[in-house]
Amino acid sequence: MVDGTPIPPGRIGDAIDAGIAFITEDRKAQGLVLGMTLRENVTLAHLRDFVDRDQLVDVGREKAATMRMIGELEIKTPGTEQLARNLSGGTQQKVVLAKWLLGEARVFLFDEPTRGIDVGAKMEIYKLMLQLAQRGAAIVMVSSDLPEVLGMSHRILVVRGGAIAAEFARADATPDKVIAVATGAAA
């Protein structure tokens, strides 16, 4: 549900229209089309917004929107026409995020948001996540990186065996408590 409105499962278009964004753990296989440009990747989820009355993609509007995202997210790239496969891992992750920010998403599902990126890029992703939260966005983060979970979360749900095994407020979560529940050592 978003703002009290149910979103039918499996209806991706409805989820996008409702402002739900999914930042996948596998940006190369699921988050990006590596053979497409940065511009094409940024606008892909919202392509209908860039189609003119003749049903042609308005590349000029796409470029302008992409340039706005490049500026907002401080994406390091030679330009909008750079192929996604030629970007660093951290920059690729920012492109995935730009795709959803372009559509003004309000609920962000981050699945392993910093897997496979360097420490500097991790810090940039954390900063962006904090900015989203400060703007009022809801963030659900799935991570196997315990320091990341403890450092970024207000509330922590530990999942074991496909079910929620425990819930902790940030102040109550310690590495020992979370690991005990995750491994089944805590009753």
State pLDDT tens for residues 64-111: 999 999 999 889 999 999 999 999 888 998 999 899 888 878 999 999
Has residue 16 been placed in a domain?
yes
User: pLDDT tier at 186 (50, 70, 90 boundaries)?
Assistant: confident
Has residue 1 been placed in a domain?
no
Mean pLDDT within 111-140: 90
Has residue 23 been placed in a domain?
yes
Has residue 42 been placed in a domain?
yes
Q: How far apart are CA 121 and CA 100, in angstroms?
A: 18
Asked if residue 131 and residue 160 are part of one domain, the reply reads no
Asked if residue 102 and residue 173 are part of one domain, the reply reads no
Asked if residue 175 and residue 134 are part of one domain, the reply reads no
Model's pTM, two decimal places?
A: 0.84
What is the tally of structural domains in the chain?
Answer: 2
Asked if residue 158 and residue 129 are part of one domain, the reply reads no
Asked if residue 168 and residue 136 are part of one domain, the reply reads no
State pLDDT tens for residues 139-180: 999 999 999 999 999 999 999 999 999 999 999 999 999 999
User: pLDDT tier at 187 (50, 70, 90 boundaries)?
Assistant: low
* DSSP run (H or E) holding 108: strand 107-111
Has residue 5 been placed in a domain?
no
Domain interval for residue 172: 154-187
Asked if residue 99 and residue 82 are part of one domain, the reply reads yes
Asked if residue 24 and residue 44 are part of one domain, the reply reads yes
Q: What is the DSSP letter of 113?
A: T
State pLDDT tens for residues 84-96: 999 988 899 899 9
Asked if residue 172 and residue 105 are part of one domain, the reply reads no
